[in-house]
Structure 1
Amino acid sequence: MNSPDVHEYTADFDDIPGTRVYTAARARQGYHLNQFAMSLMKAENRERWKANERAYIDEWPMTEEQKQAVLDRDYNRMLDLGGNIYFLAKVFSTDGLSFLQAVSTMTGMSVEEYQAMMNAGGRSPEGVRSIREAR
């Protein structure tokens, strides 16, 4: 019995619409992005960040694309670039946002719409389940 190729297997994760699976490849890609986010656990780092975001983020060896995604607070892009939502929570918490507020921005819904959807059981399993197959 042949075991599946791990790269083929994990590539299938990218076929799930609206979902970003945090794989080992994403972890490697986002290492410095996530370390930056974790640095915001310390009050002195939050103060430095708030005083001059660009100067603080330039201390981290991230790609310019990662830095811009953070500065734009584009959480979906940060996830695409290797961010882990639990680490990125430090960024939106520093901005004074709740998890609910931040995640709703990632869906295109208002906070109220997102909360109502989640209280009703989450997203419907009906609809597009595969990007490649458009089904």
Structure 2
Amino acid sequence: MNRVTDIHAYLAEFDDIPGTRVFTAKRARAGYHLNQFAMSLMKPENRERWKADERAYLDGWAMTEEQKQAVLARDYNRLLDLGGNIYFLAKLFSTDGLSFLQAVSTMSGMSLDEYAAMMIAGGRSAEGQRSIREGR
């Protein structure tokens, strides 16, 4: 294998971690405009424009239609798949009045109380499925 092939194989391993989306350079490139949109919500005037007409505000950004639909659906897991960075997406759920804990609990499939208890207890166990591809 040459050096370029090695790096691609190495980076592909990140996609084999169950329930995890590693924010790689590839995801950063794919999500650039999505993340810029999210960061724009730091300004009060942009939040007002966003709240007045979400679709019109999104159409001002060079995002894919799939990214726009995921934003409108508040499908945070899909947004991560499409290049979103959780720390940038926090601007979106903060604008919606959600805490970080509330938003990420929806991404886990757990209730807020279940998610909080799991995190207080130290997070998810390292035991269990460790590879999507190998089913182990």
TM-score band by shorter chain is over 0.9
- Find the aligned partners of 2:38 and 2:122 in 1 and give their Cα distance: 30
Aligned residues: 134
The residue identity in structure 2 corresponding to 1:19 is T
Distance 1:95 1:79 in 2: 18
The one-letter amino acid paired with 1:24 is A
Give how far 1:5 is off: 1.2
Identity across aligned pairs (percent)?
A: 81
* Matched position secondary structure for 2:108: coil
Gap regions ≥5 residues in structure 2: none
Q: Which runs of no fewer than 5 residues in structure 1 stay unpaired? A: none
Instruction: Report the TM-score when normalising by structure 1.
Output: 0.97
What is the alpha-carbon distance in structure 2 between the residues aligned to residue 95 and residue 57 of structure 1? Answer: 15
Query: Equivalent residue for 1:116?
Result: 117
CA-based RMSD of the aligned residues comes to 1.0
Distance (Å, rounded) in 1 between the aligned partners of 2:80 and 2:33: 13
CA deviation profile, 1:42-81 (whole Å, cap 9, x unmatched): 0000000000000000100100000000000000000000
Q: TM-score, length-normalised on structure 2?
A: 0.96
CA deviation profile, 1:14-36 (whole Å, cap 9, x unmatched): 00000000000000000000000
Structure 2: distance between partners of 1:21 and 1:8: 15
Whether 2:77 is the aligned partner of 1:80: answer no
- Structure 2: which amino acid aligns with 1:48? R
Matches within 5 A, 1:24-103: 24-103=25-104
Q: Which one-letter code corresponds to 1:54 in the other structure?
A: R
Amino acid at match of 1:26: R
Q: What code does the residue aligned with 2:19 have?
A: G
* CA displacement at 1:129 relative to structure 2: 0.3
Counterpart amino acid of 1:46?
R
Is residue 21 of structure 1 aligned with residue 18 of structure 2?
Answer: no
